[in-house]
Amino acid sequence: IGGEVVQNASFTFLNAKPTYKGSYVRLVDFDNSELKRNKTLEAIQNPQCGWFYTANQKDFEKIPGSPIGYWVKNSIYRIFENSDKIQELGDVRQGLIPGNTIAFLRHWYEVNNLKIGYNSIQSSDIIKYKKRWFLYNKGGGYRRWYGNIEHIINLENDGYEIKYSGYNNNYRLRDPEYYFQTGLTWSKISSGRFSMRLMQRGCVFDIAGCSIFKLKDNEYILGLCNSKIIDIILELISPTLNYEVDHIKKLPVNSNVVFFDNIVLHVQHNISISKSDWDSRETSWDFQQNELIRCISNCSQNCADIDLLNNEDRDEILEIEKIPTDSNLLEDCYEAYKSKWTEMFFQLHRNEEELNRQFIEIYGLQDELTPDVPLEEITILQEETSIENGELVFHADEVFAQFVSYAVGCMFGRYSLDKPGLILANQGETLQDYLEKVGRGEEELTFVPDRDNIIPVLDDEWFRDDIVERFYTFLKASFGEENFRKNLDFVEECLGKDIRKYFTRDFYKDHIRRYKKRPIYWMFSSPKGYFNVLVYLHRYTPDTINRILNSYLKEFIEKLKMYRSQQEHIEVEGSVIEQNKARKEIDRINVMLEDCMQYETEILYPLATERIALDLDDGVLVNYNKLGSALALVDGLNDKKTKEKVRKFDWIDTSQIRD
C-alpha cells in the first residue's frame, strides 16, 4: 500500500500447507489512495492489466530473507539458486563509529597536511606511524567507480583520544584488521540508485561507508554491483533506500569466464575516468592542476610535437585531436577541455551500457532488462554539466569559477604554476617555504605568491596588490600578455560579470559552497562590508591581524579621507554637475569611513592586541569562531545559532570563542 491510509482492507490467513498460489495487486507505483482503489477494482475485473500477480509463496524462500516478491519472475529465482553470494567470496564489513564526529572528524583540507597519513599502512603499524589524521570513508552521495572520500579521522596513537578522552562514549572501533586495506565501498544511506566505488589502500571506513574486503576479483564484483542486475535484486531484498551490510552479503554473483577479462578491462577504464574526474577538483587531495591550466600545458607540448610534422600531417592531427593552434587563448583551451571531457563522459556511458549488456546475458535477463543507461545516471562532471533535452551541456560559469579558485590558490601559494599539487598546506608556512618546495628562486617563478598572505578585496583599485590586480598578473603569467585583454573578456563572459564584481560579490560565497562551509581562505570583513581582505588559513600567524590593521585597514581609511578631500574640493570648485556628483560621493565615503573606523576601534584593534593563535587540529568550525565578528558572517559556520553550539563543545577551551 506504500503508507496510504486504508479504510477497508481484508487479509486471509490459512493454517495449511501452501499448495496453491496467492493473488496480489501491486499498487506502490500509483500516487494516491483514490487511484490505488480504482486500480484495484480494475485488476479484479482484468487480471491481465499488468499489476495483478499470482505467486507461490514457497518461491519466496528461494530469495535471502524470504521477501514477499510476488512480482518476481522465475528467471530471478534461478539467479539466487545458481549463484554464489558475495559473503562467500569476501568479507563484508560495517565499519567503525567514531562517536563524537565533530571532535574527531575533519575535511582533509582543514588541518596541517604533514599530519595526514595518506600512504598505505598496516593497521598494526598505526602507533609507529607518526601521524594524527588518517583518510576516512563515510559514504557520501550517489557516485560510481571512484571518489567520495573527503574526510579524515583522528586515530593518533591507535585512536587514544577516541577511546580515553572522557567525552566520547558512543564509539565502536570495530574490525581494525581491515583498516587501510583495498576494498569496495558503498553508501549505506542513499537518495537514489545503489552505487559502489573502489576504495584504495590507506582509508579507514565507517558505518555509513560500508565496505567489502578480501575479494579475489574486485573489478568484476564492482562492475556487477554498478549494473542493472543489482538494481532489481536490491529492489527485491532492500525495498527502502538503506543498503545494509546484510543486504549486500546476499547479492548473487555469477562469475563467467567468457566475459570476465572484458568486464575487468571496462571496469578499470571506468575507475580511471572517474578518478580523473574526482581529482580534477581542488577538494581532492590528489588534485594537481586546474584543468584549463593543464590544457594549455598539454596544448603547448602537443603543438611543439606537431610542429615537427609536415603540413599535411599537422593539419590532419589538429583536426582529429582538436588541438588549439593558439594555446594562449583561453577560449581555445575551454573548447579543448569540453572536447576532452565530452569524450570521457560518453566513453564512460558506453562502458556502463556494455557492462549491463554482458551481465544481462550472464544472468539470462534479456527479457526483463535492457542495457540502456540514462545520461543523468553518469556520475562524473556533476558540477560542470547537466543533461538538457538529452544533450550534455557544460556550465561555463562553474568551469571558470574553478579556474578563479585555482588562481586564488596560486596567489596564496597553496598551488603553483611551476609545480603541480599542494605546495603550502601547513600552519604558518611562508614564501621562503614556497621557494624551497618549488625548487626555484623568486626571480625564476612564473607567478609569485602574495608575500604577506593578505589580499584586499575591495570595490575599486585602492591597493596595488588587490585581488583583481593579482588576478590580472596570474592570467598574464599563465596565458601570456599578448592575448591578456581577450582572455580577460572571455573569463568575464563565462562568469557572467566583471571580474571585480565577481570577487566582491560571488567569490567568497562560491568558496564557502565549494569547501562545504569549511573555508580555507578567510574573509576579514567590516560590519557593512566596505573593507574586505582575504587570508589563507594555513599561513595565518598571531601577527596577521596586526598586519591587516596597520598595513591595510588604517591605510584604507587614510585613502578614503584623501579621496573625500578631493571630492570636497570639487564640491566647491567644480561645475554644477560635478558638484552634485561630488556630494553623493562624499556621502558614500562618509558611510564607508564610519564602517571602517568602527571595525578598527571595536573589532580589529582589540583582536590584534591579543595576538590570537590558531590550532589547525581544532578544525575550521572552532577556529573561525575564535576570531569573532572580525570575519564575514557565514550561516552554519559563525551565525548566532552555530556559535552557541560551538560554545557547548566539551573538547575545546570555549573561552576562546568570541562574539
- Which DSSP string do the residues of 590-622 spell out, in sequence order? HHHHHHHHHIIIIIIHHHHHHT----GGGHHHH
Q: Which residues contact 656 (CB under 8 A, 6 or more apart)?
A: 612, 626
Beta bridge partners of 184: 198, 212
Judging by DSSP bridges, how do beta strands 145-146 and 183-186 pair with one another? unpaired
3-state class (DSSP) for residue 229: helix
Q: What element of type H or E holds 652?
A: none
Instruction: Point out the residues of the chain with pLDDT beneath 50.
Output: 1-8, 61-62, 66, 302, 304-306, 308-309, 317-318, 320-325
The phi and psi torsions of 204 (rounded to 5 degrees) equal: -100, 145
Number of H helices, E strands in the chain: 24, 19
Integer Cα distance of 607 and 549 in angstroms: 10
Task: Return the pLDDT at 2.
Answer: 44
Task: Return the pLDDT at 242.
Answer: 82
Integer Cα distance of 329 and 483 in angstroms: 7
The phi and psi torsions of 388 (rounded to 5 degrees) equal: -130, 120
Q: Which residues contact 512 (CB under 8 A, 6 or more apart)?
A: 519, 634, 637
Which cell numbers in the block locate residue 91? 568479507
Residue type, 270: N
Q: Sort residue 649 into left (φ over 0), alpha (ψ -120 to 50) or beta.
A: beta
8 Å CB contact between 538 and 424: yes
Burial class (CB in 10 A: 0-12, 13-18, 19+), 306: middle
Task: Return the pLDDT at 351.
Answer: 98
Judging by DSSP bridges, how do beta strands 385-388 and 391-394 pair with one another? antiparallel
Integer Cα distance of 68 and 45 in angstroms: 24
Integer Cα distance of 132 and 146 in angstroms: 25
| pTM confidence score | 0.88
Task: Return the pLDDT at 40.
Answer: 80
Helices 74-82 & 228-237 angle (0-180, nearest 10): 100
